[in-house]
Amino acid sequence: PLWKLCVPSLQAVTNICTYLPHNTIVMCMILWRELPPICSDVRQKQRISIDTLPPEVKAPFPSEPVIPLRTKTIKEFQEDMDRATTSGDWRDVRDFYLTTFDSFLEINAAFKREANAPFNTIEDSGVNSKFLNAVYDALLCTPQDIQKSVLKGIINSLLREWKGPRTKDDLRAYFILVQNPQYSSTSTYVIYAHLLRQIAGLSEADHHFLVHWFKKLSPRRFRQLVERFLHFISTRLLPAPPDELPPLTRCSWWIPAATKVLALFNAANSISTPPIMSFTDFYNITLDHIDIMEQYRTWQSHGNSNKQPIIFCQPSSINTVQSLVNKVSRRQRVDMNLLFLNIKVRRAQLLSDSLDELSRKRADLKKKLKVTFVGEAGLDMGGLTKEWFLLLVRQIFHIDYGMFTYLKDSRCHWFSSWKCDNYSEFQLVGTVSFHS
């Protein structure tokens, strides 16, 4: 019997009793008091580890939590909503929302297509999108106490103490929560900010999953989320009434967190064919009113202070800058070429090489241009780029090349009719114009 084992300490008894029925625990503790004391030499000889116990007395390790089974369908939910709207009795709807958003486990139970299926691939989030959209579309039409209960449940979920890496069910819960339409209101921005900070703090592998799941959203909902991020950033950036938002000094992390999550949506948009929305729709016009040089000087004056101000840079450079900062902090060699759009061209094949290089490096098009001519020693301090630009423009607009026709009356160049089938070269012209 288990109680006859020579247990070396009361702590060991506690560890074993964790997995025993109540009546067995009581018997063990009674017999423990009746056992004679064990001297130190006997204690060492008779010490038994959990690994040497026979299989019948080994306690199983606790398994992953099993997601409860929820069977409510879209039709049943909509019937509950119609009935509540007509009768004014919201109890069934209130119970549904209260339970659904109580924890990450319940969120998966409600919206996962199969409760305990893994769904651990980037191709399928496993979320019942139609049901989720129906629940969120109806949420803003419910009484205020129901909406507050949803926010309270989200707070409790986000405050949970995390230990170890996130599971795919946790990622699924973040994927679901970030779509909540309640975050359009500034009164929910504190909760929204904490959600964004947790998503921004996930591992690179977790971000990889979320990017591929985000690109599966419908274009309308994808655009709504991007616009919500931009509005959140703009609202936090501009002065706010004291009773509406916390002081900026206490929440300077809000904008960096939102920007990192927005970068995930930008990545999802970039890998979609065709893109879900134009890259210009990620532009935040509020930043036009920011004095970037003043922010740079402020950042310099702070030095190594923990109270770093909010610094804005080109969206395409965010990950690059973070990578460089991490390398510097680890005293690793930094490759400054990461900050530039580096292209190598042959003078004899200037146009084709330029087109190939710029096509391959589309992700770096917003970076500063640096040109190297193959087989020629030289450091581009601006002169090589200027020479490349002049040679390229001269070749593109040359009448023998045939891309453009010169109109003497208007003294302008216009598109050549027989060359319009090769749009990649015209795209090159637009790219060059952007960098000019």
Write the DSSP assignment of 71-129 as a string of letters: ---HHHHHHHHHHHHHH---HHHHHHHHHHTS-HHHHHHHHBSSTT----BTTB--B-H
Type of residue at 391: L
Type of residue at 30: I
What distance in Å separates the CA atoms of residue 39 and residue 307, rounded to the nearest whole number? 59
Q: What is the pLDDT of residue 199?
A: 96
Q: Which of 344, 341, 432, 343 is nearest to 390 (CA)?
A: 432
pLDDT digits (tens), the chain, 436 positions? 333 333 444 444 444 444 444 444 444 443 344 444 444 444 444 444 444 545 544 444 445 567 777 889 999 999 999 999 999 999 999 999 999 999 999 999 999 998 888 888 999 999 999 999 999 999 999 999 999 999 999 999 998 856 667 899 999 999 999 999 999 999 999 999 999 999 999 999 999 999 999 999 999 999 999 999 999 998 888 877 777 888 877 888 898 899 999 999 999 999 999 999 998 899 888 877 776 666 666 666 655 454 445 545 444 444 555 555 555 556 666 555 666 788 899 988 888 888 888 888 877 777 778 888 888 876 666 788 888 888 888 888 777 777 778 888 888 877 776 655 556 667 777 766 655 5
Q: What is the pLDDT of residue 50?
A: 40
User: 206 and 171 in contact (C-beta within 8 Å)?
Assistant: yes
Q: What residues contact 262, with CB distance under 8 A and at least 6 apart? A: 226, 229, 230, 233, 282, 315
Q: Is the peptide bond before 274 cis (omega within 30 degrees of 0)?
A: yes
Q: Which of 149, 236, 139 is nearest to 196 (CA)?
A: 236
Q: For the CA atoms of the chain, what is the radius of gyration? A: 31
Q: What is the pLDDT of residue 48?
A: 42
Give the distance, in angstroms, between the CA of residue 327 and the centroid of all CA atoms in the same chain. 22
Burial of residue 362, with CB atoms counted within 10 A of its CB: 0-12 exposed, 13-18 middle, 19 or more buried = exposed
Q: What is the pLDDT of residue 216?
A: 95
